[in-house]
Amino acid sequence: MPKNLVIVESPAKAKTIEGYLGTDYQVASCYGHIRDSPKNSKAIDVAHGFRPTYEISEGKQHIVKALKALAHPADCVYLASDDDREGESISWHLKEALKLDDVKIQRIIFREITKNAVLNALT
């Protein structure tokens, strides 16, 4: 079983990146955003300091379940979403939805899908 999990946004990126890494790594895709605000009036929890609330997006429950199953036995989970506002949001939602411990995760960034860029991001 791989010791490390790398989560990217796109399944095409996942397949390419997995080819660059050894057997200690597994690469999976979250297929973009996994959570959103509820579609009702409960998006903001007024009673608790106006905290926003989120729910797993429709159709993404099976992805979250599969990622949890991969993430929890891993020694390290690398969140490798895009280097932009949306990517940061996706990484944060992954951390929260998968209930990942801060000591177990790393946020990595690469701006090109090349072996060199990916390996440099992991070091």
Reported as a single tens digit per residue, the pLDDT across 78-121 is 999 999 999 999 999 999 999 999 999 999 999 999 999 999 99
pLDDT digits over 16-42, tens only?
999 999 999 999 999 999 999 888 777
Q: What is the pLDDT of residues 36-55, one digit of tens each?
A: 988 877 788 888 889 888 99
Q: Distance between CA atoms of 89 and 123, rounded to whole angstroms?
A: 23
Q: What is the pTM of this model?
A: 0.91
Residue 79 CA to residue 18 CA, distance in Å, equals 14
- For the chain, what's the residue count? 123
CA distance 83 to 68: 23
Fold of 4-122: Rossmann fold (3.40.50)
Q: How far apart are CA 50 and CA 70, in angstroms?
A: 33
Under 8 Å CB-to-CB from 93, ≥6 apart: which residues?
33, 34, 35, 54
